[in-house]
Structure formats: C-alpha cells, structure tokens
C-alpha cells in the first residue's frame, strides 16, 4: 500500500531525568542576591529534595526526545471517539499567552483586571448563545467537574423545594464520569437501558422515574453517536415528577447551530472546551467544563460570577443560594481564552459548518466500512460511528489487535471497548478538520488491516512493531506497581 | 475558514456516498422542535490579524500590566519561568495528544508524567504522587474525601483557618451534598493553627493544615502531626507555595499521610488563576485509595522499560459510581511543565531560589518594620507575611499602583479580625530597589 503516514524513522533513546546530570549543574539563571541572606529558623529547615542537577541543553534534549515518542493531532489523524480530537489552532496559544493576561494575578480588585473579566463575560454570552441557555459559569476545570457542578445544582434545587432525592437515572451508554459525579452528591445511579435503536425509550424512563429520583443525565448525541430523538418526551416525564434533566455536552461538536439545547428540555449542561472548542488536550489536560443552566437554576451557579454593569465588569460574590466555588480562582482561565479565540475566529456560520462536516465525515466512514466491520446500530449517525469486531472473531482477531495495527500505519486508534453496550466496540470520531484524502487513506488502511487479519493475523497480534516499544505489559504494572523512581 | 478543509466538490462527493442531498439532510434524526431557529448570535468571524488586534486591545485595557511588580502571592506567585519550558511544553506532540490510552504512541507523555510524579514525591517527602488534580482547591477536597474513605467510620473532617480561604470554600462545595461535616480550626495569636479544640472531637477522619499558611506563617507541622495522629485522624497537609520545600522540612518528614496543594509556582504563569496544578501525594499504604491517574513502570514484549497508566480499577471509567473520584481529564501539560521546572532548577537551584525568596521577603519585612509598620505575626514565614500599618494604607497602595507596584492584598474579606492588614509576598522577581520604593512610600 502506498502513502501510509507511518514509516520507520530514527528513534533516540533517553534515560530518566535522574539517570543523567551532575551535581552542581543548573538549568536556570537565578538572579544574584541583592539583599542580605537571612537563614531559615533551624528547627524548620530541611535538606531540600533529591533532584538531579541538569543543564539547559540536558533538559531541552531530554524533552525533545520524549516528545518524539508521542503522537498528537498535529502528527496525524486521531479519530478517538468521544474525545473530539480536532485541530488545535496555533493562534489560540498566542492569545492565551497575551502578556497582560498571562501575568494577571487572580486576586486583584476588579478595576485593575477589566480585560480578563471582559473575556469571561463575553465567553459566557457566547456559550449561552451556542446552547440557547440563559446563564453559564466558567469555573469547572473539566467535563467531570462540570458534571459535579451540575449535580450539586440538582441537589441545591431539590433542597430549595424542601426535598432530598436519592437516585439519578443514567443511560447504559453514559461515560463513567456520570455515575461517579452523581455518587459524589449521594445519588445512587439507576441505569436505563437504551432500546434496540440505541436511544432512550420514553417508556423505560417513565417506568423508572419517581419522586425519589433527582433527574436524568443524558449525553446527547449519545456515545453510540446517535441523537436522542425522544429527548423532549423524556424531559417531560422527568419534569412531571419534579426532576431535572442534565445534558452531558461531550458531543456538542455534532450539533452547534443546529440544536437549541434549551428547547430539548435540558436544565443543566456542561460543555467540554477541550473537545468542541478546539483547546488542546495536553496529554490529559487541562480541560474546561463550563456549565450552562436555565433561568430558574441561575441562582445556584458558583460564585464569584462575572457581571457587566454599563461598560464595567464586576465579580459578584454575593449569592446566598450559590453552591459555592468549585475552583480556587476562575477556572482554567488560559483554556477559556483559547476557546474564546476559537469562537471569535469561527463565527456563527463556521461553527455550524464545523458540526455539519464532522457529521458528514463520520457518516462517510460509516458507509465505507459497514461491509467490512460489524455495525451494531445501523442508524444515521452524528459526529461518530461505532463498529465492533464481531466479524473478526472467527479470525481470532480482536478490536485491540486492529487498534494496535493502526499504530504501525501512523494513525492513532479510535476509542476501543466503549461504549460498554457494544462488546468489542470501535468508536470512530474523525472531526471536521480531517480532509477527504486523509479520511480516504484512513479507510483504506482499515480495510488493508482487515485483509491482513484474514491472510496473516500474526501481523495484528504482534502490532505495533514500528514504535519505540512494543505492546506493554499492563498486568505487570498493576500487579507490582512502580509509581515512583 | 482555514480549519475546515472540505471543498464544495468533496462535500458533494461525500454526500453522494452517504446518500444525502444536502448537509442539512444529515440531521434528519433531530426532531424539528429541538432545532435552533436562525443563526447563533455571535460576533462576525475574525481573521487571525483582527483577532490579534482585538486581544491587544483587551490586553491594553488591563490596569495591571506585565511591567507591574506584583508583591502579592495569596496562592498565585510570580516566579521567573525559563523560556525553554514554554518552548518544550509547546511541542505539539505533547500538547495536542489525548490522555495516553495507547501507551505505545504516548511514551513521551507517560515518561514525562512518571518523572513529574517522582520529583513531586521527592519534593514532598512522600512515597507516591499522582498525575495531578485540577488545582489546589480540588486537590484538598479530594484529599479529605480520601481521608473519609480510609477512616470509613468517621464522618467529620477538620480544616485549619490558615488554609487558603478559596480552597476551604471548594471543600465546602464538594462536601455539601454529603452527610460529612467540616469543622474549622482557628488560628492562634501567633498565626499558627490552634489545635486545642482537637480534643473536643473523637470522630475526625482527617485534619488538614496548610504550610506555609495563607497568612504566610510556617506551621509547626511536626508537632501538629503528632497531636493529630493522637486523635486517630489522618494528617493532611496542603500548600500553595511548593518552592518553600527547597528550604523547609518537607511534609513527609513531619509525618503527613496525604499532601496536596497548588503547584502553579512550579513553572506556570499566573494567567488569572488557571490553569494551575493540583499536586497530590500520599504514603504507600494509601495508594489504592488515591484519586486520579497514576503512571507506572512496566516492560514491553521484548522486556524493554516503558510506562503505562495503571491501577485504573480505582478510576471512574472502570469503577463508575464506586470510583475513588470522578476525575478524568486532569492538568496533564501543566504537570509536564512542573516536571520540567523542577528538573531545570535541580536540587541545587531549588535550594538557591528558595533561599533567595526567603531573604527578599525578610528584607521587605525588616524595612517595613523600620518604617513603622507592624509585622502581625512573629512566627517564621517563607516569602509571604501579614502587615498592619499605623494608618489607612489604601492611599499608599493606590500611589504605589500608579508607580508600577502592587503592594500586597488586603485580607479583611477573609479574616475580619485582620481587616486593614495587607498580605505581602516577595519572590526573586522583586529587586531591592522595588522594596525600597515601597518602604519610601510608606514612610511618606
């Protein structure tokens, strides 16, 4: 096969930091003391940590080599389902590093920091416009903390009505963070099975919803990549029993400018700025998980909340009904600036176009691979499509093998073995920033791998072979944990 | 739009392949009554150059400028950050990667985080550090929840009033929907936590102290740890200025069971308070109760050393509602940067920088004292301390601000008993000349 991105290259070895260096080296120029040295009280004084001493060149080479063992969106296609690995624009990085913003101390009086407050206020307005919701907070640091914020708002709302509810409905397709976040509020998650079409049935929600139940957490589009078309009816049932509807916005990238969240009956929703709004994932974070709410829940949002009065921005600390702070300051502010830059760069028409193209790319992949891979839910998909390895079982080839072989060809594998309702799931989310040639090449590569599965399955079992390391022993890592060098 | 690569022809070809007439047809499963009417109400899109100009304008509207000397810490510190850290952390192989779920193509992130965990554990004198929590506030909340999991029968935790007030607020938020109770331990006249009231409680799962505390005072962690352990509670220590451990005994030496704190000082810009870094470490025996991701060493098929995410059975994607935490995304690249910063300083540099911070703050302290200001606490401090002025300081503060110096923050909002007192911080970024200028204005 021609033109696969992955080829072998020179891979440098590099030891651990403390396996190199010499005592007395320094990688930083520390200013000379211009004041008298004052000793620390001897009873409090310690010896200082045992860190390796390295020069600037030692460190630059070390991390440059490490980076070359890594793969990011800038390296190649990263169709990791549910993670929206779209291109992370370079200008966003520049804007977040604007000197006056980068140097802004978070505890100064409002009059000194009008610019940083304006960005917060405007971003709140933009996220409200994108979701159709009337109020928002930017404080949550990631999606899961957004969920926790939402669940605390549920709890505060029910308490304001004089009741403490104990259960929460969560579809079986949900991310693990949903039940974990709900459990922090003392809610017992009650699983709701999705129907044969992969979406929620009105009847199954009606059968489970009662006045002990705080509400429902719905990811829409769901993790099968399907729009929950009964969402309004589901919301009506939940509302009729006094409950609230939480929208997990992890998959917002499918529906910007297309769906009005407030019209779906959703009361609280978080957005993942590190997914939909193009901020980089940083190999694990930081993210940002702003939460949007309907009018009646606005008073429960975290404090302080930024307000605009005339042409002046102000932090409002006085909200007796607020659930309180979820972050020490104003959330992952630098991430907020990146998302703000993205929204301003895109504008309304391009955000909608992004969702349309994300959905087009996913449907195109679904059509092109449906013969070769088992498609458990044959529905028009949104921004991602979910296959399984059912057709490969007889070849003794698994989802994991296919994923690992993709690495040899220069692709990051899709999300695998999730959602849990599909055994051996392969969840592909191409995003809108992949062009047609690259998607065609990816499809061709998958088909090639599925051919290899028939002719030489050992190629898949032993993959990857072109990386610095071959398959890693995860069992050993867990059985004899070595977490510190 | 430059981020959207599809040409009209390609869109037409792809639509034909999926059997749709138009892009709108792709959304046929969305009911009409869920749809957005009209366009999203947003400003017109900007070119890269328009965005630059817009952001420059916002930057210019900030009264506090990058040229200001900011003598404020209070949980967010100005330290010099070597350019190489920005350069290395900007390498897009690190920056644009997801969580390292496929270890064979993420060894860079994994080794880097393993190194961060190791240096953090050494800095804090603990056995194990995790791959990070969001920030100091969330890390403290997670530490107390962990204490409640370990001491299952106890429903109460105690937190010192010396802990950053915002972090205490985050703890209250995290625990408000549970039946756990939080008690606050007062500060004594010496600015250290008064542990006398500990004797009143027999059912504390964990007791948390911050050192140096919010008002700058270094707690006697060793003595506090002994008293806390006598009650059967776990000893949790937090921090907002990890640089202090270049000079001070580390929390592990003082008997801490869980150590958590804000790591912004370790190579991260203040950036209006985020992204920061929740550092989190504990003793070996509590590892399986830890929240958050952990990177561990292993071998590949050929026996070569490598790294993977491990002990995932604690985490939400496996354990769901029984997980040790709901955290998924953490502060990945910030932890990498902190690792880079610690490596850049090394043991020798960290010691020197910590000593310099202490000396600068002590000089400011002694000069202010000479100028007639009262240093509120006699207890030892690191690079921050609380000052009471003989007369209203606000006009002096405003004058100094106009002269390019931010002279502390007033703490009355958090500590009514110290209303009118200012918390000052001096790091290596403050010159003797800046300090003398502050003192001169105070004398005026």
- Structure confidence at residue B166 (pLDDT): 98
Token pair belonging to A454: 């028939």
Angle at A424 between CA A423 and CA A429, to 5 degrees: 110
Look up residue B235 and give its DSSP letter. E
Distance CA B239, CA B242 (A): 6
Average pLDDT of chain A to the nearest whole number: 97
Distance CA B54, CA B229 (A): 56
- Structure confidence at residue A10 (pLDDT): 87
Token pair belonging to B272: 């209006």
Distance CA B402, CA B412 (A): 23
Look up residue B274 and give its DSSP letter. -
CB A49 within 8 A of CB B351: no
A351:B40 CB<8 A? yes
CA distance B356 to chain A (A): 6
Q: Is B444 on the interface with A (CB under 8 A)?
A: no
- Structure confidence at residue A2 (pLDDT): 61
- Taking only the tens place, the pLDDT of each residue in A202-246 is 999 999 999 999 999 999 999 999 999 999 999 999 999 999 999
Interface of A with B in 387-446 (CB under 8 A): 403-404, 407, 412-413, 415, 418, 432-436
Q: Is B313 on the interface with A (CB under 8 A)?
A: yes
Distance CA B87, CA B359 (A): 31
Interface of B with A in 264-303 (CB under 8 A): 269-276, 287, 293-302
CB pairs under 8 A between A and B: 717
Distance CA A99, CA A96 (A): 9
Q: What is the rounded average pLDDT of the residues B332-356? A: 98
- Taking only the tens place, the pLDDT of each residue in A113-143 is 999 999 999 999 999 999 999 999 999 999 9
A286:B334 CB<8 A? yes
Q: What is the rounded average pLDDT of the residues B168-182? A: 96
Look up residue B242 and give its DSSP letter. G
H or E element at residue B88 = helix B83-89
- Structure confidence at residue A473 (pLDDT): 97
Task: Tell which residue, B46, B207, B336, B174, has the closest CA to residue A64.
Answer: B336
Give the residue carrying structure tokens 């019209």.
A263
- CB count, 10 Å around CB of B289? 15
Token pair belonging to A5: 């991105």
Task: Kindly give the residue spans of alpha helices, DSSP state H, lying in B176-277.
Answer: 221-230
Distance CA B148, CA A183 (A): 15
Q: Is B91 on the interface with A (CB under 8 A)?
A: yes
The contacts of residue B363 (CB under 8 Å, 6+ apart) are A35, A36, A38, B426, B432, B435
Query: Is the bond leading into B426 cis (omega within 30 degrees of zero)?
Result: no
A147:B326 CB<8 A? yes
Average pLDDT of chain B to the nearest whole number: 97
Residue A278, phi-psi category: left (phi > 0), alpha (psi -120 to 50), beta (remainder) = left
- Taking only the tens place, the pLDDT of each residue in B204-237 is 999 999 999 999 999 999 999 999 999 999 999 9
The contacts of residue A154 (CB under 8 Å, 6+ apart) are A165, A168, A185, A187, A214, A215, A244, A246, A268
CB B188 within 8 A of CB B194: yes
CB B308 within 8 A of CB B296: yes
Please give the full DSSP string across B388-434, using - where no structure is assigned. Answer: E-SS--HHHHHHHHHTTEE--EE-TTT-GGGTT-EEEE--TTS-HHH
Beta strand pairing status for B374-375 and B405-406? unpaired
- CB count, 10 Å around CB of B257? 25
Distance CA A223, CA A251 (A): 8
A472:B306 CB<8 A? yes
What band does B190 get if pLDDT is binned at 50, 70 and 90?
A: very high
Minimum mean pLDDT range among A2-6, B58-62, B128-132, B237-241: A2-6
CB A333 within 8 A of CB B275: yes
Token pair belonging to A381: 């998909």
Which of A72, A91, A324 is nearest residue B95 as measured by Cβ atoms?
A72
Q: What is the rounded average pLDDT of the residues B133-138? A: 98
- Structure confidence at residue B296 (pLDDT): 98
b/e A369-393 (16+ beta carbons within 10 angstroms → b) = beebbbbbbebbbbbbbbbbbebbe
- Taking only the tens place, the pLDDT of each residue in A144-168 is 999 999 999 999 999 999 999 999 9
Task: Tell which residue, B22, B40, B24, has the closest CA to residue B32.
Answer: B24
- Using CA atoms, how far residue A144 sits from A150, A417, B98, B103, B133, in Å, is 10, 20, 16, 23, 12
Task: Tell which residue, A410, A283, A76, A414, has the closest CA to residue B107.
Answer: A283
- Structure confidence at residue A1 (pLDDT): 57
Distance CA A380, CA A404 (A): 28
Q: Is A52 on the interface with B (CB under 8 A)?
A: yes
Residue A82, phi-psi category: left (phi > 0), alpha (psi -120 to 50), beta (remainder) = left
- Structure confidence at residue A7 (pLDDT): 83
pTM of the predicted structure, to 2 decimals: 0.98
3-state secondary structure of B277: coil
Query: Is the bond leading into A419 cis (omega within 30 degrees of zero)?
Result: yes
The ipTM is 0.98
Angle at B155 between CA B153 and CA B161, to 5 degrees: 135
B385 contacts in A (CB within 8 Å)?
none
Q: What is the rounded average pLDDT of the residues B63-79? A: 97
- Crossing angle of helices B48-60 and A114-131, in 10° steps, is 130
- Structure confidence at residue A396 (pLDDT): 97
Which of A37, A86, A326 is nearest residue B359 as measured by Cβ atoms?
A37
Distance CA A237, CA A209 (A): 8
- CB count, 10 Å around CB of B318? 11
A89 contacts in B (CB within 8 Å)?
3
Q: Is B354 on the interface with A (CB under 8 A)?
A: yes
- CB count, 10 Å around CB of A367? 17
Distance CA B360, CA B376 (A): 18
CA distance B310 to chain A (A): 6
What band does A3 get if pLDDT is binned at 50, 70 and 90?
A: confident
Residue B303's Cβ-side half-sphere holds a number of Cα atoms within 13 Å equal to 0
Task: Tell which residue, A305, A269, A299, has the closest CA to residue A131.
Answer: A269
- State the first-to-last Cα distance of chain A, in angstroms, to the nearest integer: 43
Token pair belonging to A327: 């972050």
B107:A44 CB<8 A? no
State CA B150 to chain mean position distance.
Answer: 24
Token pair belonging to A89: 């624009």
Give the residue carrying structure tokens 């801490």.
B256
- Structure confidence at residue A457 (pLDDT): 97
Distance CA A204, CA A221 (A): 18
- Taking only the tens place, the pLDDT of each residue in A68-119 is 999 999 999 999 999 999 999 999 999 999 999 999 999 999 999 999 999 9
Q: A127 — phi, psi (to 5°)?
A: -65, -35
State CA B203 to chain mean position distance.
Answer: 29
A224 contacts in B (CB within 8 Å)?
none
- Structure confidence at residue B444 (pLDDT): 86
- Taking only the tens place, the pLDDT of each residue in B94-117 is 999 999 999 999 999 999 999 999
Which of B36, B78, B115 is nearest residue A257 as measured by Cβ atoms?
B36
B129 contacts in A (CB within 8 Å)?
483-484
Q: What is the rounded average pLDDT of the residues B55-83? A: 97
SS (H, E, C) chain A: CCCCCCCCCCCCCCCCHHHCCCCCCCCCCCCCCCCCCCCCCCCCECCCCCCCCCCHHHHHHHHHHHHHCECCCCCCCCCECCCCCCCCCHHHHHHHCCHHHHCCCCCCCHHHCHHHHHHHHHHHHHHHHHHCCCEEECCCCCHHHHHHHHHHHHHHHHHHCCCCCCEEEEECCCCCHHHHHHHCCCCEEEEECCCCCCCCCHHHHHHHCCCCEEEEEEECCCCCCCCCCCHHHHHHHHHHCCCEEEEEECCHHHCCCCECHHHHCCCEEEECCCCCCCCCCCCCCCCCCCEEECHHHHHHCCCCEEEEECCEEEEECCCCCCCCCCCCCCCCHHHHHHHHHHHHHHHHHHHHHHHHHHHHHHHHHHHHHCCCCECCCCCCCCCCEEEECHHHHHHCCCHHHHHHHHHHCCCCCCEECCCCCCCCEEEECCCCCCCHHHHHHHHHHHHHHHHHHHHCCHHHHCCCCCCCCCCECHHHHHHCCCCCC
Which of B5, B52, B358 is nearest residue A40 as measured by Cβ atoms?
B358
Question: Chain B residue with minimal CA distance to A63?
Answer: B88
A70:B65 CB<8 A? no
CB A231 within 8 A of CB B34: yes
What are the beta bridge partners of residue A136?
A292
Give the residue carrying structure tokens 């003598």.
B71
Q: Is A244 on the interface with B (CB under 8 A)?
A: no
- Structure confidence at residue A365 (pLDDT): 98
CB A70 within 8 A of CB A283: yes
């Amino acid at each position: 096969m021609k033109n696969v991105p992955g080829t072998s290259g020179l891979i440098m070895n590099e030891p651990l930091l403390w396996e190199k260096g010499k005592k007395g080296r320094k990688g930083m120029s520390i200013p000379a003391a211009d004041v008298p040295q004052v000793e620390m009280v001897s009873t409090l004084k310690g010896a200082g940590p045992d860190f390796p001493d390295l020069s600037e060149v030692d460190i630059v080479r070390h991390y440059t080599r490490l980076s070359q063992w890594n793969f990011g969106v800038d390296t190649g296609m990263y169709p990791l389902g549910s993670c929206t690995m779209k291109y992370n624009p370079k200008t966003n990085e520049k804007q977040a590093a604007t000197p006056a913003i980068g140097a802004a101390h978070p505890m100064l009086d409002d009059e000194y920091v009008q610019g940083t407050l304006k960005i917060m206020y405007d971003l709140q307005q933009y996220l409200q416009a994108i979701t159709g919701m009337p109020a928002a907070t930017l404080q949550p640091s990631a999606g899961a903390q957004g969920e926790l914020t939402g669940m605390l708002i549920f709890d505060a709302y029910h308490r304001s009505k004089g009741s403490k509810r104990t259960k929460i409905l969560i579809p079986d397709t949900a991310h693990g963070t949903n039940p974990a976040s709900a459990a922090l509020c003392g809610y017992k998650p009650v699983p709701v099975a999705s129907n044969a079409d992969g979406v929620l049935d009105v009847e199954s929600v009606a059968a489970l919803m009662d006045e002990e139940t705080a509400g429902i957490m719905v990811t829409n589009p769901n993790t099968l990549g399907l729009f929950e078309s009964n969402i309004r009816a589901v919301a009506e049932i939940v509302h009729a029993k006094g409950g609230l509807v939480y929208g997990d916005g992890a998959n917002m990238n499918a529906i910007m400018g297309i769906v009005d969240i407030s019209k779906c009956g959703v009361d609280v929703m978080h957005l993942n700025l590190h997914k939909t709004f193009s901020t980089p994932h940083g190999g694990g974070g930081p993210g940002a998980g702003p939460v949007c709410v309907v009018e009646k829940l606005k008073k429960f949002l975290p404090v302080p909340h930024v307000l605009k009065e005339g042409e002046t921005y102000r932090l409002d600390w006085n909200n007796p009904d607020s659930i309180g702070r979820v972050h020490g300051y104003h959330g992952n502010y630098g991430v907020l600036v990146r998302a703000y830059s993205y929204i301003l760069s895109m504008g309304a028409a391009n955000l909608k176009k992004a969702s349309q193209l994300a959905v087009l790319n996913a449907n195109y992949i679904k059509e092109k691979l449906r013969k070769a891979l088992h498609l458990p839910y044959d529905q028009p998909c949104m921004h991602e499509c979910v296959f399984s390895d059912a057709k490969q079982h007889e070849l003794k080839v698994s989802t994991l093998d296919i994923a690992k072989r993709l690495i040899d060809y220069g692709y990051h594998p899709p999300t695998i073995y999730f959602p849990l309702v599909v055994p051996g799931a392969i969840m592909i989310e191409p995003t809108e920033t992949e062009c047609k040639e690259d998607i065609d090449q990816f499809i061709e590569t998958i088909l090639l791998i599925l051919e290899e599965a028939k002719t030489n399955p050992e190629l898949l079992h032993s993959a990857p072979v072109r990386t610095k390391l071959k398959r890693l022993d995860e069992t050993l890592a867990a059985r004899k944990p070595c977490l510190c060098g | 739009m430059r981020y959207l690569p599809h040409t009209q022809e390609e869109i037409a070809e792809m639509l034909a392949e999926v059997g749709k007439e138009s892009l709108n047809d792709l959304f046929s499963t969305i009911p009409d009554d869920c749809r957005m009417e009209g366009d999203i109400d947003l400003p017109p899109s900007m070119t890269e150059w328009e965005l630059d100009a817009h952001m420059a304008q916002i930057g210019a509207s900030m009264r506090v400028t990058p040229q200001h000397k900011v003598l404020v810490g209070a949980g967010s510190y100005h330290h010099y950050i070597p350019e190489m850290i920005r350069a290395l952390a900007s390498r897009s192989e690190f920056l644009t990667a997801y969580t390292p779920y496929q270890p064979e193509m993420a060894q860079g992130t994994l080794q880097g985080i393993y190194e961060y965990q190791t240096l953090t554990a050494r800095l804090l004198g603990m056995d194990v550090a995790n791959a990070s929590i969001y920030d100091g506030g969330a890390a403290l909340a997670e530490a107390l929840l962990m204490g409640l999991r370990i001491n299952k029968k106890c429903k109460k935790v105690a937190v010192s009033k010396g802990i950053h007030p915002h972090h205490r607020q985050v703890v209250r938020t995290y625990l408000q929907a549970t039946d756990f109770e939080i008690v606050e331990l007062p500060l004594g006249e010496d600015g250290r936590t008064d542990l006398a009231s500990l004797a009143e409680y027999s059912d504390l799962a964990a007791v948390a102290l911050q050192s140096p505390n919010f008002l700058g005072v270094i707690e006697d962690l060793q003595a506090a740890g002994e008293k806390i352990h006598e009650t059967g509670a776990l000893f949790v220590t937090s921090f907002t200025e990890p640089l202090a451990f270049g000079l001070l005994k580390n929390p592990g030496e003082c008997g801490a069971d869980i150590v958590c704190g804000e790591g912004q000082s370790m190579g991260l810009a203040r950036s209006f308070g985020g992204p920061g870094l929740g550092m989190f470490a504990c003793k070996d025996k509590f590892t399986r109760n830890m929240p958050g991701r952990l990177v561990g060493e292993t071998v590949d098929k050929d026996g070569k050393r490598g790294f993977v995410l491990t002990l995932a059975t604690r985490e939400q994607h496996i354990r769901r509602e029984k997980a040790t935490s709901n955290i998924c995304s953490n502060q990945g690249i910030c932890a990498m940067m902190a690792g880079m910063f610690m490596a850049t300083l090394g043991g020798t540099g960290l010691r020197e920088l910590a000593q310099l911070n202490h000396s600068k703050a002590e000089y400011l302290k002694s000069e202010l004292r000479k100028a007639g200001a009262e240093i509120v606490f006699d207890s030892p401090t690191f690079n921050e301390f609380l000052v009471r002025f003989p007369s209203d300081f606000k006009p002096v503060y405003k004058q100094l601000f106009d002269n390019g110096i931010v002279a502390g923050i007033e703490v009355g909002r958090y500590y009514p008993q110290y209303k009118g007192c200012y918390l000052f911080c001096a790091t290596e970024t403050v010159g003797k000349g800046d300090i003398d200028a502050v003192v001169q204005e105070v004398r005026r």
